[in-house]
């Protein structure tokens, strides 16, 4: 048994034809321990969702390996491993858009009972009904009778997202990949949804890979877990949440944290902003050489940062950073 429930090893994913290839994810590695929450934070287009889909094997990595309970998911010849099914049901996904993630032609009961009956997780239709009711209660949709015969279009965005959560729970997954699961839900019900996800972690011991662009949500949801900051196709910093929020080491993470508005306008006005050299996100078609952040980095060192790509290095206890400058400051050589 390995240390991690699920582990990504050097995941690379490219898209496109032979002539024009775009790298969406480049050399991403991380592990999630059983019962842990790992947040993947980054701006649009940095490869968060692609990483999430590779973790759930909805996308096949171009190279690299996903390990579930220490065993590889893909065989060397590119086929699915023999115990793929355990993994398949063990890792579920919650999509971002509640308006697209439920089949409009099925009732809520059908959506939730189909996986139960298909995988024979229940012995009879009667038992399926009991279990569906139980699931709807778990995600806080009540009174249950009101929802069973409804179609998704009759539900609000928040309610739909709860159904999505319930659907993911039907097969008793060990790990849930929540891909921006609360981003498209109204702010007023976002906390409710986050609390439900947290409760599942406590009561069922669900492990999360929580993908978000919102640092505040990451901080709230994964305070006891870890945060991985992604910037243009790879992870630049990976640390426990308090460490990352309070003492981020990578310039990009610092810039990201500084951009979060504070509730106090006085505080916001006097907040130290990191002056980036450029506001433009590089095109995925022409990735910068060396460190991907160097065209924007305020600590850019010519001849080093634009030539050599920094590795994700352990700088402090459980704190990985991919930055030459930060590594030198921490006294780690050769980064």
Partner 1 sequence: MSALATLTPLQKTMRALRNIPRGIWRFLKLMSRNKTGFLGFLIFIGFVLLTTVGPLLVPEAKSADILAIYAPPCTFKEWRVFARDAWFKGIEVSAIEESGAPICTKHLLGTDSQGKDIFAQIVHGGRDILQMALLTGLISTFVGITLGALSAVIGGRFDAFLTILADIWLTIPRFPLLAVLATLVKLDNMLMLALLLSFLSWAGLYLSIRAQVFSLKERDYVEAAVALDLGLWHIIFSEILPNMMSYIAISFTFGMTSAIYAQVGLVFLGLVPLTRNWGVMINLAWTQGAIFFKDSVYFIMAPVMSIALFQLSIVWMSRSLEEIFNPRLRTG
- Closest-CA residue to 24 (of 46, 54, 56, 52): 46
CA separation, residue 70 to residues 63, 67, 117, 174 (Å): 18, 5, 29, 14
- Least gap, CB of 71 to partner 1 (angstroms): 17
Contacts of 292 (CB under 8 A, 6+ apart): 231, 232, 233, 234, 282, 309
Residue 21 vs 85, nearer CB to partner 1: 85
- Least gap, CB of 175 to partner 1 (angstroms): 11
Residue 84 vs 299, nearer CB to partner 1: 84
- Least gap, CB of 94 to partner 1 (angstroms): 9
Residue 197 vs 227, nearer CB to partner 1: 197
- Least gap, CB of 127 to partner 1 (angstroms): 8
Q: Hey, is 175 helix, strand or coil?
A: strand
Give residues in contact with partner 1 (CB under 8 A): 56, 58, 85, 88-89, 91-93, 95-97, 100-106, 114-115, 118-119, 124-127, 129, 151, 153-154, 164, 167-168, 170-171
Beta-ladder partners of 59: none
Q: Report whether 241 contacts 208 (CB < 8 A).
A: no
Residue 104 vs 302, nearer CB to partner 1: 104
Residue 167 vs 324, nearer CB to partner 1: 167
Contacts of 198 (CB under 8 A, 6+ apart): 221
The bridge status of strand 319-321 relative to strand 71-72 is: unpaired
- Least gap, CB of 233 to partner 1 (angstroms): 22
């Amino acid at each position: 048994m390995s240390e991690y429930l699920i582990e990504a090893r050097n995941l690379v994913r490219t898209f496109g034809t032979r002539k024009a290839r775009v790298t969406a994810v480049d050399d991403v590695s991380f592990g999630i321990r059983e019962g842990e929450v790992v947040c993947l934070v980054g701006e649009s287009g940095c490869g968060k969702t692609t990483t999430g889909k590779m973790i759930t094997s909805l996308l096949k990595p171009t190279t690299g390996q996903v390990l579930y309970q220490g065993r590889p998911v893909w065989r060397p010849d590119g086929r699915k491993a023999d115990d793929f099914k355990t993994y398949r049901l063990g890792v579920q996904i919650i999509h971002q858009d509640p308006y697209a993630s439920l089949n409009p032609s099925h009732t809520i009961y059908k959506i939730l009972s189909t996986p139960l009956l298909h995988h024979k997780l229940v012995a009879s239709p009667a038992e399926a009904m009991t279990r569906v009711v139980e699931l709807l209660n778990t995600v806080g949709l009540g009174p249950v009778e009101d929802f069973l015969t409804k179609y998704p279009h009759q539900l609000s965005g928040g309610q739909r997202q709860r159904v999505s959560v319930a659907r993911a729970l039907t097969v008793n997954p060990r790990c849930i990949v929540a891909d921006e699961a609360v981003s498209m839900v109204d702010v007023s019900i976002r906390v409710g949804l986050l609390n439900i996800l947290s409760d599942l972690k406590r009561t069922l011991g669900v492990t999360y890979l929580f993908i978000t662009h919102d640092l505040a949500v990451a901080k709230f949801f994964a305070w006891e877990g870890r945060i991985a900051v992604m910037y243009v196709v790879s992870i630049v910093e990976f640390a426990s949440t308090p460490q990352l929020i309070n003492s981020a080491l990578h310039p990009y993470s610092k810039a990201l944290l500084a951009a979060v508005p504070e509730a106090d306008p006085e505080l916001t006005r006097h907040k130290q902003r990191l002056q980036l050299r450029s506001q433009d996100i590089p095109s995925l078609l022409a990735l910068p050489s060396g460190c991907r952040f160097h065209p924007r980095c305020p600590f850019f060192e010519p001849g080093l940062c634009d030539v050599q790509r920094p590795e994700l290095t352990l700088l402090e206890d459980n704190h990985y950073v991919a930055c030459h400058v930060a590594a030198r400051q921490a006294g780690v050589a050769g980064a």
